[in-house]
Chains A and B, each alone.
Chain A
Amino acid sequence: MSHPELKDYAGAKLGMWLFLFTELLLFGGLFLLYSVYLSHFPHEFATAGRQLNWVFGTVNTMVLLTSSLLAAMAVTAVQRDNRGLAVRLLAGTISCAAIFMAIKYVEWSAKIRHGIYPNSPHLASAPPGEPVFFSLYYITTGIHGLHVLIGAAILGWIAAKVHSGKVHKGDYVLLENGALYWHLVDLIWIFIFPLYYLIL
């Protein structure tokens, strides 16, 4: 490559923030549909929302918040030149991601066993509004789950770089951006959780 790597800390951060905006807007489309259909079918949405298990949702919220805290601490650890601690903290974040996905798996399989999934015969007999609620639920949490997996993979890759010393006290923008992405995954869940599990 004829161009030596250009190190521009502010540029890298700016690019990452722009990317985070696009992620928010991606989910924005789903939230938009949610709000319109909620206004069409407030009663059906409430009935459907009560069928979701708020315990799973609450535990997962706490798991994700903890994971975000650990990711933020990993950044601070690298800033303080403690790379070993940072790797352990990132491992904690990734473990939280695994717990989140495991709980999600249990939750989804229970729902599917009860015949609640898109286009299911059970939902076909439900009043209009409920099938849409559950389709939105599956698509939104599904795409969010995909983001959790991608985020965990990225943090794992970054943890390897922290371990090998490529990310260090003098150059940690990669870790910072990875943590920012993880906070976004967390943030989106903070909106999904009340909308689907709590307020209805």
Chain B
Amino acid sequence: MTTEHQIQTSFWNDTGKSGIRSWIFSTDHKRIGLLYFYSTFGFFLVGVLLGLLIRIELMAPGRTIMGPATYNAVFTVHGVVMIFLFILPAFPGAFGNMIMPIQIGARDVAFPRLNLLSWWLYIIGAAIILTSLFTGGGAPDTGWTFYVPFSARTGTNVTLAVFGVFIIGFSGILTGLNFVTTIHRLRAEGMTWGRLPLFVWSLYATAWVQILATPILAITLVMIMAERVLGAGLFDPARGGDPVMYQHLFWIYSHPAVYIMILPAMGVISDIIPVFSRKPIFGYKFIAFSSLAIAAAGSLVWGHHMFTSGMSDTAILVFSFLTFVVAIPSAIKVFNWVSTLYKGSISLDAPMLFALTFILLFSIGGLSGLILGAAATNIHVHDTHFVVGHFHYVMFGGTGFAFFAAMHYWLPKIYGRRYAEKPAIIAWVLMFTGFNILYFTMQVLGMKGMPRRYYDYLPEFAPLNLVATVGSWILAIGLAIMLVNLFRGLFRGERIGNNPWGGATLEWSIPSPPPTENFAEEPVVTHGPYDFKGTGIP
């Protein structure tokens, strides 16, 4: 039915319904991807504001702008928003939806209506979480991990917030099974497993983690609700429960969840590096395989969050060992990206700068993760700002910067227009500088012994805290410039052709913005995703 259109209509114009209904009830993967993009990114900005407030409060010892109870609520909501409303759903939901079906030569995902349901569940969950902030006992103050016994006893609105996260969990599960089915069933002719773009491979591994880990989170959250509503006592030692079991259950999900966050980011980087180095990716099979290896090994390391919780020494040693094992596939990826750069014809456009930043910041974050994963050093830095610095290097420096890279790389495809290059690079310089001032300082503070989540601190930590806060402002200014430039470009910038970057994956073979049906005829794939020779791409 697609061939009857000689000139295909862009998915922006081809609407069956009118106005907002053509978006919020659309089953088109590109529209759902944009819904995800704007909703998750909106929450990212909320999370950034909360993070800036935390940094302002910590700028000087004692009370700066808020009281201790508010501070507890702010860092909790910062974590809940960033993790459950942004970083977990953002990559699969936004770029996974927008790009993955096109990359495998499909017209849509396997279950388009289920896809829409996923977004609706996400929005409903987000609405419930937002409601929990302003009703009942007020915003949760437990930290995003909802550790018992405090989460079972605090008077704040934990039950409702946890229920919201539970609903969002379902959204993630449905996206995961939709993507696995899509990648198994809807690949175009010639799109063999060995020709899948690495972004698709990473989404495939991510989807499996979503399917296998999220149910454990769901049942754990149900248990918290049971503790609070029924007084079940599952984690109450007086009745035979064990609070450490809560931590086990929580991390059985939440450690694999960090791979839901980072794997798609690694996929984007694997797609961007070869395009801007004009070289096929080095070690395609190893990168694809390492995504699966990370997903598998990452499911067995949750105990490293609990070295000081009172586990047996044997368990600590085993989990410490496994944590080092999971570093191997991550390192394989880093070495392969760097080898791809070797003797490449590198052009430092904005997507590439963000991608290279990912490699550096992720490596710093990953190596500091090994300091935390080693049982002995962990005792010293556990629950300090070193941990905060570590996971912001991995999650923000890693996934966040990869998300910015993807925004610069793929949003022009979706909008058909591009941003200005120079402001994008200025923004990158500011963000890179601000980021390192902010989070490297945190790691130093942690090494010196400043605990995380504390409202107040000793005077000797004051100078470095001031430095970190100034870093957060530089980062925020860079972010603002990036957003203004990017979105002004997308709406009013220079028009682009099919293939502005010279990529060899399928999304660059169709018009920008993509037509509703993606491909005029079902494509037949004859070359690999990074096979620039003989594809007619300059």
Contact = CB atoms under 8 A, between A and B. Distances in A.
A1 B230 contact: no
A86 B408 CA distance: 55
A73 interface: no
B226 interface: yes
Contacts of B180: 14, 18
B520 interface: no
A182 to B, nearest CB: 19
Main secondary structure of the interface of A (DSSP, over half): helix
A2 interface: yes
A191 B4 CA distance: 56
Nearest to B229: A118
A32 interface: yes
A11 B181 contact: yes
Nearest to A120: B231
A36 B235 CA distance: 12
Contact of A18 (B28, B181, B242): B181
Interface string B233-276: 11001111110010001001000000000000000000000000
Contacts of A130: 240
Contacts of A108: none
Q: B178, B223, B240: which has the most chain A beta carbons within 10 Å?
A: B240
Nearest to A23: B215
B202 to A, nearest CB: 18
B226 A139 contact: yes
A3 B28 contact: yes
Given A21-B212, A131-B240, A1 B220 contact: no
Nearest to A136: B234
Interface string B29-47: 0000000000000000000
B181 A14 contact: yes
A55 interface: no
A185 B497 CA distance: 53
B215 A28 contact: yes
Given A18-B211, A128-B239, A32 B249 contact: yes
A135 B226 contact: yes
Nearest to B180: A18
Nearest to A123: B239
Interface stretch (B55-63, B107-115, B337-345, B377-385): B107-115
Interface stretch (A37-45, A57-65, A76-84): A37-45
A105 interface: no
Contacts of B184: 11, 14
Interface in A1-21: 1-4, 6, 8, 10-11, 14-15, 18-19, 21
Nearest to B14: A2
A127 B238 CA distance: 9
A105 to B, nearest CB: 18
A32 B245 CA distance: 9
A127 B233 CA distance: 13
B166 to A, nearest CB: 11
A29 interface: yes
Contacts of B222: 139, 143
B533 interface: no
B468 interface: no
B211 A21 contact: yes
A4 B173 CA distance: 25
Contacts of A136: 234
A6 B185 CA distance: 12
A27 interface: yes
B234 A132 contact: yes
A119 interface: yes
B28 A44 contact: no
A29 B230 contact: no
B27 A37 contact: no
A131 B233 contact: yes
Contact of A129 (B27, B214, B223, B240): B240
Contacts of B252: 29
Nearest to A126: B239
A150 interface: no
A26 interface: yes
A22 B170 CA distance: 10
A110 interface: no
B1 interface: yes
Contact of A28 (B1, B16, B112, B216): B216
Contacts of B245: 33, 36-37
Contact of B218 (A26, A40, A41): A26
A29 B214 CA distance: 11
A160 interface: no
B497 to A, nearest CB: 25
A139 B232 contact: yes
A11 B179 CA distance: 11
Contacts of B241: 37, 132
A10 B28 contact: no
Contact of B181 (A15, A129, A131): A15
A44 B240 contact: yes
B355 interface: no
B353 interface: no
Q: A22, A33, A136: which has the most chain B beta carbons within 10 Å?
A: A22
Contact of B108 (A3, A24, A119): A3
B444 interface: no
Contacts of A26: 215-216, 218-219
B160 interface: no
A18 B178 CA distance: 9
A30 B219 CA distance: 7
Given A8-B186, A14-B181, A15-B181, 13 more contacts: A2-B516, A18-B181, A19-B173, A22-B173, A22-B215, A25-B215, A29-B249, A32-B249, A37-B240, A118-B231, A119-B230, A135-B233, A135-B234
Closest 3 CB pairs of A and B: A119-B231, A29-B219, A128-B240
